[in-house]
Protein backbone atom coordinates (compact mmCIF):
# COMPACT_ATOMS: atom_id res chain seq x y z
CA UNK A 1 0.00 0.00 0.00
CA UNK A 2 1.33 3.42 -0.92
CA UNK A 3 2.40 5.79 1.84
CA UNK A 4 0.15 8.42 0.30
CA UNK A 5 -2.91 6.43 1.30
CA UNK A 6 -1.76 6.09 4.90
CA UNK A 7 -1.14 9.78 5.52
CA UNK A 8 -3.51 12.71 5.36
CA UNK A 9 -3.26 14.41 1.99
CA UNK A 10 -3.67 17.76 3.74
CA UNK A 11 -0.40 17.45 5.64
CA UNK A 12 1.98 14.99 4.01
CA UNK A 13 2.72 13.86 0.47
CA UNK A 14 5.33 11.12 0.36
CA UNK A 15 5.28 10.19 -3.31
CA UNK A 16 8.96 11.08 -3.58
CA UNK A 17 9.70 8.40 -0.96
CA UNK A 18 7.48 5.66 -2.39
CA UNK A 19 10.34 3.60 -3.83
CA UNK A 20 12.37 3.65 -0.62
CA UNK A 21 9.32 2.89 1.50
CA UNK A 22 8.20 0.08 -0.82
CA UNK A 23 11.63 -1.57 -0.80
CA UNK A 24 12.02 -1.34 2.99
CA UNK A 25 8.49 -2.45 3.87
CA UNK A 26 8.41 -5.31 1.33
CA UNK A 27 11.75 -6.59 2.57
CA UNK A 28 10.47 -6.82 6.13
CA UNK A 29 6.72 -7.13 5.44
CA UNK A 30 6.24 -4.14 7.70
CA UNK A 31 4.31 -0.92 7.75
CA UNK A 32 5.29 2.66 7.01
CA UNK A 33 6.33 3.13 10.65
CA UNK A 34 8.72 0.19 10.31
CA UNK A 35 10.78 1.93 7.63
CA UNK A 36 14.13 2.79 9.20
CA UNK A 37 14.68 5.54 6.65
CA UNK A 38 11.26 7.14 7.17
CA UNK A 39 11.55 7.02 10.96
CA UNK A 40 15.02 8.59 10.83
CA UNK A 41 13.89 11.24 8.36
CA UNK A 42 10.95 12.32 10.49
CA UNK A 43 12.85 12.10 13.78
CA UNK A 44 15.44 14.47 12.36
CA UNK A 45 12.78 16.80 10.97
CA UNK A 46 10.88 16.93 14.26
CA UNK A 47 14.05 17.33 16.33
CA UNK A 48 14.97 20.50 14.41
CA UNK A 49 11.46 21.88 13.83
CA UNK A 50 11.24 23.99 16.99
CA UNK A 51 14.71 25.48 16.57
CA UNK A 52 14.04 26.37 12.94
CA UNK A 53 10.70 27.95 13.76
CA UNK A 54 12.19 29.77 16.76
CA UNK A 55 14.95 31.23 14.57
CA UNK A 56 12.35 32.41 12.06
CA UNK A 57 10.16 34.01 14.72
CA UNK A 58 13.17 35.74 16.29
CA UNK A 59 14.13 37.17 12.89
CA UNK A 60 10.56 38.43 12.41
CA UNK A 61 10.59 40.08 15.85
CA UNK A 62 13.92 41.75 15.10
CA UNK A 63 12.67 42.94 11.70
CA UNK A 64 15.66 41.46 9.88
CA UNK A 65 14.04 40.43 6.61
CA UNK A 66 17.27 38.96 5.28
CA UNK A 67 17.24 36.52 8.20
CA UNK A 68 13.52 35.94 7.74
CA UNK A 69 14.20 34.93 4.12
CA UNK A 70 17.05 32.66 5.16
CA UNK A 71 15.14 30.89 7.94
CA UNK A 72 11.92 30.57 5.95
CA UNK A 73 13.91 29.11 3.04
CA UNK A 74 15.52 26.58 5.39
CA UNK A 75 12.10 25.58 6.75
CA UNK A 76 10.67 25.33 3.24
CA UNK A 77 13.47 22.98 2.19
CA UNK A 78 13.09 20.81 5.30
CA UNK A 79 9.33 20.59 4.80
CA UNK A 80 9.71 19.62 1.16
CA UNK A 81 12.22 16.92 2.11
CA UNK A 82 9.62 15.20 4.30
CA UNK A 83 6.70 15.87 1.97
CA UNK A 84 4.94 18.52 4.01
CA UNK A 85 3.75 20.57 1.09
CA UNK A 86 1.36 22.87 2.98
CA UNK A 87 4.02 23.97 5.46
CA UNK A 88 6.50 24.33 2.59
CA UNK A 89 4.05 26.55 0.71
CA UNK A 90 3.51 28.73 3.78
CA UNK A 91 7.29 28.98 4.31
CA UNK A 92 7.64 29.95 0.65
CA UNK A 93 5.01 32.66 1.10
CA UNK A 94 6.96 34.05 4.07
CA UNK A 95 10.17 33.95 2.06
CA UNK A 96 8.52 35.83 -0.82
CA UNK A 97 7.04 38.48 1.49
CA UNK A 98 10.45 39.05 3.06
CA UNK A 99 12.02 39.84 -0.30
CA UNK A 100 12.19 43.34 -1.66
CA UNK A 101 13.48 46.52 -0.16
CA UNK A 102 15.27 46.46 3.14
CA UNK A 103 12.96 49.03 4.69
CA UNK A 104 9.97 46.74 4.83
CA UNK A 105 6.78 48.60 5.58
CA UNK A 106 4.89 47.69 8.73
CA UNK A 107 2.00 46.18 6.72
CA UNK A 108 4.32 43.64 5.09
CA UNK A 109 5.93 42.88 8.44
CA UNK A 110 2.47 42.25 9.89
CA UNK A 111 1.70 39.90 7.00
CA UNK A 112 4.94 38.02 7.59
CA UNK A 113 4.08 37.69 11.29
CA UNK A 114 0.58 36.43 10.46
CA UNK A 115 1.94 33.82 8.04
CA UNK A 116 4.46 32.75 10.70
CA UNK A 117 1.59 32.12 13.12
CA UNK A 118 -0.13 30.03 10.48
CA UNK A 119 3.11 28.12 9.86
CA UNK A 120 3.55 27.46 13.58
CA UNK A 121 0.02 26.01 13.77
CA UNK A 122 0.62 23.88 10.68
CA UNK A 123 3.87 22.50 12.14
CA UNK A 124 2.20 21.61 15.45
CA UNK A 125 -0.56 19.75 13.61
CA UNK A 126 2.03 18.08 11.38
CA UNK A 127 4.00 16.99 14.45
CA UNK A 128 0.93 15.29 15.92
CA UNK A 129 0.06 13.57 12.64
CA UNK A 130 3.59 12.31 12.09
CA UNK A 131 3.91 10.96 15.63
CA UNK A 132 0.56 9.19 15.32
CA UNK A 133 1.15 7.80 11.81
CA UNK A 134 4.83 6.87 12.06
CA UNK A 135 4.39 5.93 15.74
CA UNK A 136 7.14 8.16 17.05
CA UNK A 137 7.33 9.09 20.75
pTM for the full predicted model:
0.78
Structure confidence by residue, pLDDT tens digits, 66-119: 999 999 999 999 998 888 889 999 999 999 999 865 555 677 888 899 999 999
Q: Is 95 helix (H, G, I), strand (E, B) or coil?
A: helix
Q: What is the pLDDT of residue 8?
A: 46
- Residue ranges per structural domain of the chain: 7-134
Q: What is the pLDDT of residue 30?
A: 54
Contacts of 4 (CB under 8 A, 6+ apart): 13, 14, 15, 18
Domain 7-134 matching CATH 1.10.10.10: the answer reads: no
Q: Exposed, middle or buried, 35 (CB in 10 Å: 0-12/13-18/19+)?
A: buried
Cα–Cα nearest to 127, from 34, 3, 32, 42: 42
Q: Exposed, middle or buried, 60 (CB in 10 Å: 0-12/13-18/19+)?
A: buried
**Residues 4-7: contacts with CB under 8 Å, at least 24 apart:** 6/31, 6/32, 6/133, 7/32, 7/129, 7/133
Per-residue pLDDT band for 137 (boundaries 50, 70, 90) equals confident
Structure confidence by residue, pLDDT tens digits, 5-20: 344 455 666 676 777 6
Q: What is the pLDDT of residue 114?
A: 94
Amino acid sequence: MSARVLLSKTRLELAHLDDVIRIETETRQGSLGDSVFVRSLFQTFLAHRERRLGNLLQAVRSGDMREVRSHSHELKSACLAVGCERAAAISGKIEALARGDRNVKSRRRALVAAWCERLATELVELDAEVRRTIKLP
